Structure 1
């Protein structure tokens, strides 16, 4: 008996040995050693996914099931279950998995106002996910993080406040725009057959999640019933009930006293009860730990209690970071063994998860199913990059144009200035892949105007001094500079541990996937040597690219982003003397999921005066400024004027950029301001003084080509704002106030700098008289609205026709609400009839108790190229009005 017990103890978690455990071990061994004569039910592709999943889960031990409820689900060899990592990001392309087609950031795709096109983008992204999966799946079917088919996108939180750093990931501030485009994205990702998913999409973060970033792990939000039903939940309902998203991610924050991942009201009553959602719910990463950690919600005291309360509410999969930020499988087992949760609840969660994997075909023969012909070669193709260029073009919003654009003739000399002009970071935003052939704005202008002399000076960084790649000539292996370059030591793993696996000499620090001697791998590297500056004065150093680096000068740390993102403008300044050699050490992680790392520095002579001087002979100045994901984003260590923890405290163009822009405009030369950013900016001075302003968002890998083409007039811009551009943050309620009063175009009564739905064109449009299917609507009767739109300008172009509804005098009604939109291409002189079908819910409003109903009375309609608003210097868009009487 002692010998038998010892064998079992080596195979099963250590605990008291009982006859039942011995029987279980013997049975498990029999299953592993005696393959069935015919496929078991879970192995049969012809059976429904739900039946297969239930059969598979029924054959698992509690310990095995517990392991499957974590995002890094381990293999179960005895049942032929491969390991699977559920965590994969696809916000605007396959993210964090090396080279892929990078489309405009989500807020940029929202600016296209083109649902069919968004569907096409998502379908392409799904193809690339399949291509990555085929390339990287192990022989036993196991997949690593960022190489699977469960796509944790889209983010459909309402961008209620432009100070939120993650707003760039959303589809804007409007529930209908978000629901429509988000649904198109989900349907494109998942494909037409839910039984044979192309990928599995997720709606996140459920719910009311929208900043501030620094407090997201402990905030308890108490939205009004009105705001919850009117603003925060409609997009989730649409994606779950209509687009059939197969997964939902619950948020970090608490709502009305319950952590979102443990919320009976949100998950049990609303999601699974009222909306009949039968997919799986994933926790935001570390959110289950937030349930019990004393520094977070402290809603429960232990990991086992946290698991129990979340699984009972309806959370199925626990995403965590391990250790103090995770809930390990033993805690799940403990919860069941101690009666905090039932094994039936664990079974239910596991069934939901395996059903998703079955629908993806992950248990079917290789190459089978409707997506079996996709190969690794289908990633990042020329056709996909062409689609990314089209997306960037569609996303461009022309905010101001005093006639400078499109350029009448190609300038002979162009000065390109600004921190985002030659920045790949500015193209990709966050949650991004790595573009294989990125085109910065500088590169795009040089390509589009080959006959022009194009000069470039950054002039400033985003929030501090400008940075540029370090030249090879300043590095030596020794203080006397007997040998050029830097000594390199490579280490296995990410922590510079053990003996070096390789040594060599590099001319500089410039790492990028695809170099012959630097294939994708997980490694850590140390460059060491001496740097000899050419100027005396303050210098700063940083790595441009992925996080995981630190820099020392003469042994003193001067910059670090080992675990976080840092903007080069935040690096410490060190005083250096020209001609003197200083010891330098650069340490970096090079993760196979990441893109590249390049050493940059800031020198004393790199300043605004240099930039202004560079425009002396220029016929045109293009200033490319704004933000990047280094200063706005998810829970970041950025603390500078106007920024806090990834969020913003000011909507203004950062001070160094504003000062430089003023100096450029003072030269009197024609100037175009190109904003590259993920959220609204209060460019009031530029609106008054700069002839032309372009909002480019984070435009993706082809963004530079799209910007240059817009300047040249290769296409007419037709992007529209998915958010309100306020004059200042002072126009808004406090950031931590989640009430919608005074926020977004629906409830903001002030004058915006540029309103939601706004955007200029190179042509003009005229709307004919609208035709209504009925002047009076009976209760429950839908309405059809038809209107003719004519391109009255001198060139072809797109128009975005927007339909807004106002319910005058109805309590709780917004000022107006978007209820439909269509983007249409019209040749010059062409007329097109557009038809909008409004169901009765389009006229509904939400009362203070959260009840949605249709109140009888008048409903005012507006159909036009934007909202029916104007201000001095901003013309009201073309459009027409109508009124219909609505029955209750």
Structure 2
């Protein structure tokens, strides 16, 4: 009640100021956000400044500053804030290779976020997860499938991650022509961060090759800063070359601000500053005051945690100056002013968004469309799919009737979830369901035989298995074989499921395997024992319907893998080695099970040889739908610099989703500016376009047999 009264008083102070038109400079919407922030900061006491640099920033009633919560979630829909549309996880959305649809999704997310924030403001109390700063997207490179948080990313490729991340930022922050920003998006985790989860508070990335840093780990951040004008960047937990990311002058000031021109704010990851001094963590600072000085001088403006409460102590000790504090605080207040946080609602267009948009039917349809486009058909022996809805079908597996699994992590709460079993029963109402096994544990041998017997004469078993957000994710206390602290120690399908699928195959059943996971799973035995393999990820509230539509042919699958599906854990380098050697489609020398960019359709496409025009900077390529069904194909453009023996075998530089009716063909133009040939130049230690010969490859996956190659000369 006390907080509510303070906030109501704060809004009342606003009203009095504006009603009397006696505006101080920081209250004047006609001035620039920089002018207003500078004036406001000059009026604050050190104690007030300290409070405003914490993720839970209380109201300052005497100046009419409302409370603000910096930590809010919108990974794939508004998270942890009541009912909202729950879209598929980001890996599924990345598998759509449709950045236009992704921007529409996050425009919907930002609508729901603004509507929810307005409800909170009107209540007089803004709780965590109810404000306007959203710590998404996660644009780390998913370099190793063992990382539990990989499900939060957009895959293993720097270019695909860049384009998808840019779509998220544009959808969240709104048009740059608007007077006020819709929301604040945040590019995280800067930089070179992708596990392990279990030692992230003490881990140190060492001896990272410069090429890997600049060509793999940094491009997405640079794109979101320079093209997307992202409002925030979050620094990561680990150290790089001995320096914690949130205390790294090289990364936060030299690269991010000086080289790239980033003028937004930097937030710490939660309790990352405490890692500076806690025993058993990084231990690079003596106490919280030392850690505060290190973080502020590097450029970390706001902290998620409690260490910044020591700012006054750090000032008193001379470890940090008031000017350094003001520099950070000006960035924070400038961002809030640009949201309209200090202005009346009548001036801010986004405050009029109706609460009726929250979990509305239009957004549910969008969630369905994304789940359809992100589901990937990996195998379809003898064209067993689409299934005949008159078939005798048994549905089995631990994920078939699990609604919570569909939500992924960092999720909201849907008003309704369609499980995969429910989706199948919309086509086959009397489809039988047998759980068969748990996620990681099997029943005894007698029970296994009983499971097989229960299938009876049904010749098709749709086995819905894989993983779950309960076993893969962020820093989790999971004690199951193959899992550690949220990560995996091997990437095989859990033995309980593997053995049951093998028994079904041995019994002569045709198994259609629907794999639900946030990351790649090694499925060599399953590819042998199953007629079809469908990668469904964690498909969100409409995921069960999308899977069923694909299984029964009402939707033609068109998803493409944003990661490599390795054959086994043995194909992977040391998890704690951040070198890219042997990792992802760009550097893997062995044959994977399913390649990056791969995905089947119920129709067939013929892709012609590309032509590159260096005057118009475009690629022309013909594509024909040679099958009997309408469908979508994703044209993928890769390059390789001839003679670059240490570089990637190929690397994605453009893509375009194309819809074609059966029997139709068209010529597609793909923009391909000279900058698309940029790569690492060891001679100058920079990323640049090096004159010379390049292979330009166009096709529908990264597999060599799926690509048409020409050679171009770049001057």
Normalized against structure 2, the TM-score is what? 0.95
> Which aligned pairs between 1:580-595 and structure 2 lie closer than 5 A?
none
Q: Report SS of the residue matched to 2:653.
A: strand
The structure carrying a bigger strand percent of its residues is 1
Q: Report SS of the residue matched to 2:156.
A: coil
Please report how far the alpha carbon of residue 734 of structure 1 lies from its aligned counterpart in structure 2 after TM superposition.
Answer: 0.5
Please report how far the alpha carbon of residue 199 of structure 1 lies from its aligned counterpart in structure 2 after TM superposition.
Answer: 1.1
Please report how far the alpha carbon of residue 850 of structure 1 lies from its aligned counterpart in structure 2 after TM superposition.
Answer: 3.8
Q: 1:826 aligns with which of 648, 655, 660?
A: 660
> Which aligned pairs between 1:112-511 and structure 2 lie closer than 5 A?
112-140=96-124, 142-193=125-176, 195-222=179-206, 223-320=208-305, 326-329=306-309, 331-407=310-386, 409-450=388-429, 453-464=430-441
Return 5+ residue gaps in structure 1 as ranges.
1-30, 321-325, 467-603, 775-780, 870-875
Q: Report SS of the residue matched to 1:705.
A: helix
CA distance in structure 2 between the aligned counterparts of 1:850 and 1:71, rounded to whole angstroms = 38
Question: Does structure 2 retain, via aligned residues, the 8 Å contact 1:214–1:635?
Answer: yes
Please report how far the alpha carbon of residue 104 of structure 1 lies from its aligned counterpart in structure 2 after TM superposition.
Answer: 0.8
**Corresponding residue for 1:729?**
569
Change (3 A) 1:404 1:836: closer
**In the alignment, structure 1 residue 865 sits paired with structure 2 residue 700:** yes
Question: Does structure 1 retain, via aligned residues, the 8 Å contact 2:595–2:703?
Answer: no
**Corresponding residue for 2:534?**
694
**Corresponding residue for 2:42?**
58
CA distance in structure 1 between the aligned counterparts of 2:391 and 2:630, rounded to whole angstroms = 27
Please report how far the alpha carbon of residue 117 of structure 1 lies from its aligned counterpart in structure 2 after TM superposition.
Answer: 0.8
The structure carrying a bigger helix percent of its residues is 2
Q: Report SS of the residue matched to 1:640.
A: coil
**Corresponding residue for 1:886?**
714
User: Cα deviation per residue 1:509-557 (whole Å; 9 max; x = unaligned)?
Assistant: xxxxxxxxxxxxxxxxxxxxxxxxxxxxxxxxxxxxxxxxxxxxxxxxx
Question: Does structure 1 retain, via aligned residues, the 8 Å contact 2:439–2:466?
Answer: yes
Please report how far the alpha carbon of residue 429 of structure 1 lies from its aligned counterpart in structure 2 after TM superposition.
Answer: 1.1
**Corresponding residue for 1:854?**
689
CA distance in structure 1 between the aligned counterparts of 2:456 and 2:260, rounded to whole angstroms = 63
**Greater displacement, 665-674 / 214-223:** 665-674
Please report how far the alpha carbon of residue 619 of structure 1 lies from its aligned counterpart in structure 2 after TM superposition.
Answer: 3.9
CA distance in structure 1 between the aligned counterparts of 2:448 and 2:353, rounded to whole angstroms = 50
CA distance in structure 2 between the aligned counterparts of 1:314 and 1:299, rounded to whole angstroms = 17
Question: Does structure 1 retain, via aligned residues, the 8 Å contact 2:642–2:694?
Answer: yes
**Corresponding residue for 2:4?**
none
> Which aligned pairs between 1:639-718 and structure 2 lie closer than 5 A?
639-718=479-558
> Which aligned pairs between 1:455-604 and structure 2 lie closer than 5 A?
455-464=432-441
Please report how far the alpha carbon of residue 832 of structure 1 lies from its aligned counterpart in structure 2 after TM superposition.
Answer: 2.4
Question: Does structure 1 retain, via aligned residues, the 8 Å contact 2:77–2:109?
Answer: yes
Question: Does structure 2 retain, via aligned residues, the 8 Å contact 1:49–1:195?
Answer: no
CA distance in structure 1 between the aligned counterparts of 2:500 and 2:36, rounded to whole angstroms = 63
CA distance in structure 2 between the aligned counterparts of 1:332 and 1:300, rounded to whole angstroms = 14
Give the total of aligned pairs.
698
Question: Does structure 2 retain, via aligned residues, the 8 Å contact 1:460–1:606?
Answer: no
Question: Does structure 1 retain, via aligned residues, the 8 Å contact 2:115–2:351?
Answer: no
Please report how far the alpha carbon of residue 811 of structure 1 lies from its aligned counterpart in structure 2 after TM superposition.
Answer: 4.3
**Greater displacement, 842-851 / 392-401:** 842-851
Change (3 A) 1:607 1:366: farther
Normalized against structure 1, the TM-score is what? 0.76
CA distance in structure 2 between the aligned counterparts of 1:145 and 1:416, rounded to whole angstroms = 40
CA distance in structure 2 between the aligned counterparts of 1:86 and 1:293, rounded to whole angstroms = 24
**Corresponding residue for 2:560?**
720
Please report how far the alpha carbon of residue 772 of structure 1 lies from its aligned counterpart in structure 2 after TM superposition.
Answer: 2.0
**Corresponding residue for 2:9?**
none
- Report the structure number with the largest CA radius of gyration: 1
Query: Which 4+ runs in 1 deviate beyond 4 A?
Result: 34-37, 604-607
Q: 2:651 aligns with which of 817, 830, 837?
A: 817
Q: Report SS of the residue matched to 2:512.
A: strand
Question: Does structure 2 retain, via aligned residues, the 8 Å contact 1:134–1:375?
Answer: no
CA distance in structure 1 between the aligned counterparts of 2:654 and 2:446, rounded to whole angstroms = 49
Change (3 A) 1:351 1:403: same
> Which aligned pairs between 1:708-857 and structure 2 lie closer than 5 A?
708-774=548-614, 783-848=617-682, 850-857=685-692
Question: Does structure 2 retain, via aligned residues, the 8 Å contact 1:176–1:819?
Answer: yes
